[in-house]
Amino acid sequence: MPPITKETALEYHKLNGVPGKISIIPSKPLDTQTDLGLAYTPGVSYPVLEIARDPDLAYEYTDKGNLVAVISNGTAILGLGDRGALASKPVMEGKSVLFKKFADVDAIDIEIDTHDPEKIIQVVELIGKTFGGINLEDIKSPECFYIERMLQSKMDIPVFHDDQHGTAIILGAALINALEISGKKIKEIKIVFSGAGAAALASANHFVKIGVPRENIWMCDIKGLVYKGRKEEMFPEKESFAQGEQAATLAEAFEGADMFVGLSVANIVTPEMIKRMRHAPVIFAMANPDPEIKFDLAKQARPDAMIGTGRSDFPNQVNNVLGFPFIFRGALDVRASAINDQMKLAASNALSALAKEPVPANVLKAYGLTHLEFGPDYIVPKPLDTRVCLWEAPAVAKAAMESGVSRIKIDLEKYEQQLKDRLKIE
């Protein structure tokens, strides 16, 4: 992969004289007078009256059922911090094109210029009828927890903060497979987190739902261990993972750990720290673009480790694109009213299972590889594997139907072929 520089990135975003990364195109013919009459007046009045009579018919006569709003206020943009709502637009456009590319979900970015959680909630609730789902993005914690929770309680469509749950779902799959490879038992492992923001807290909660005892999770932030009675930089979501009653450093937390999850900043973990971990440790250092410990450095210090990062140039990339397009695809296709825990667990299990399947030649070619199989260097699927949608979206749809949040039932056997046809997958 050629290096991504400031110049190449800026040129890409205005390529061919077209600013940005998304556009809107009609899905129906508009070539004749009749077409215009059907698309607008007078023909448009008929679906208006039908939807007024039965709001669910919006799923039949409009794009609502395939439309997601990607919403941010720009307070936590990637690793760049609070740069304002407008500055978040390139990221939200990028998220929108990934929705379309990977799962044929139409998505539109909406930037809300306020730091006030109540105003964000009000805006999203008021425009919510337009969409089949809401993807919240790059909103700082702890406000993001409150905003998502309130919107979920007020709206009858999925509201999903991907910074939290997307990372958690992919890490959940990695955890399941790492335990299988190492032979360790989920009730006995110790997990250390560096970072206690949205992604870390959601991942820790997801691990608990998978089966990790809450008391086996040790969370550290910029102040060190999150312990009971600590006063600095605490809020309820973080408090729920408090361990012990006295301060400790991240290095001290590593003693006897089986898994490290880094969702913090670069180069804060040393080889000496990971040498304190138990045999066959799992090290997911996901600070971007530079991880908490460099891949080569970690491998040299612990040759027995399973190592993952957020980067595409090393094994075991944890990338949210393995989650959100297909989670929304499955949720939209059964007209789900929410994305619940059962659907998130189903997504993790689907990704875990797919990683154990033989890797097809087109995936190997896309990554310049000659061989890839389930093991320490391949515990989650590759983002460019087109099979991800065929495994994950049906699993999410099935969980939605079984948990009672779907508005309609679909035939899952036919659904897989419909996805292949929709995405032009051979």
pLDDT at position 31 is 96
Q: Given this model, what pLDDT does residue 79 score?
A: 77
Query: Two tokens at 335?
Result: 């007209």
Residues 6+ apart with CB under 8 A from 331: 133, 158, 339, 343, 396, 397, 400
28 lies in the same domain as 146: yes
Residue 73: strand, helix, or coil: coil
Q: Rounded to the nearest 5°, which phi and psi values hold at 285?
A: -105, 100
What CA–CA distances, in Å, run from 6 to 11, 16, 83, 338?
Answer: 9, 18, 17, 39
Domain boundary, last residue among 285, 309, 333: 309
* Pairwise CA distance, residues 123 & 61, whole Å: 25
From the candidates 40, 46, 129, 154, give the one annotated as an active-site residue.
40
Residue 313: per-residue pLDDT: 85
Q: Please classify residue 330 by burial: count the beta carbons closer than 10 Å to its beta carbon, then call 0-12 exposed, 13-18 middle and 19+ buried.
A: buried
Give the whole-angstrom CA distance, residue 410 versus residue 267: 48
Judge if 208 and 270 occupy the same domain. yes
DSSP 175: H
For the domain that residue 15 is a member of, what is the CATH number? 3.40.50.10380
Query: Do 214 and 133 have their domain in common?
Result: no
Q: What is the CATH number of the domain that holds 298?
A: 3.40.50.720
Does 302 lie in the same domain as 376?
no
Is 69 in the same domain as 129? yes
Residues 19 and 72 both lie in one domain: yes
Report in angstroms the alpha-carbon separations of 101 from 72, 104, 323, 348: 21, 6, 13, 21
pLDDT of amino acid 80: 86
Please check whether residues 255 and 150 belong to one and the same domain: no
In a domain, residue 103? The reply is: yes
pLDDT at 66: 98
> Annotated catalytic, 95?
yes
Looking at the fold, whether 257 and 394 belong to one and the same domain comes out as: no
Residues whose CB falls within 8 Å of the CB of residue 167, separated by 6 or more in sequence, listed in order: 199, 202, 203, 263, 286, 318, 320
Q: Distance between CA 86 and CA 83 in Å, rounded?
A: 8
151 and 209 in one domain? Answer: no
Lookup result for tokens 């297909």: 326
| 240: phi then psi, degrees, rounded to nearest 5 | -65, -15
Give the amino acid at 233: E
**pLDDT 10s digit of each residue in the chain, 426 long?**
678 899 999 999 999 899 999 999 999 999 999 999 999 999 999 999 999 999 999 999 999 999 999 999 999 998 789 999 999 999 999 999 999 999 999 999 999 999 999 999 999 999 999 999 999 999 999 999 999 999 999 999 999 999 999 999 999 999 999 999 999 999 999 999 999 999 999 999 999 999 999 999 999 999 999 999 998 889 999 999 999 999 999 999 999 999 999 999 999 999 999 999 999 999 999 998 899 999 999 999 999 999 999 988 899 999 999 999 999 999 999 999 999 999 999 999 999 999 999 999 999 999 999 999 999 999 999 999 999 999 999 999 999 999 999 999 999 999 999 999 999 998
User: In terms of residue numbers, what domain contains 411?
Assistant: 320-423
Q: Say which of 95, 184, 294, 382 is annotated catalytic.
A: 95
102 and 196 in a single domain? The answer is no
Any domain includes 1: no
**Residue 296 and residue 341 share a domain:** no
Both 179 and 254 in one domain: the answer is yes
pLDDT at 289: 82
Per the structure, how many domains does the chain have?
Answer: 3
Please indicate, yes or no, if residue 121 is contained in any of the structural domains. Answer: yes
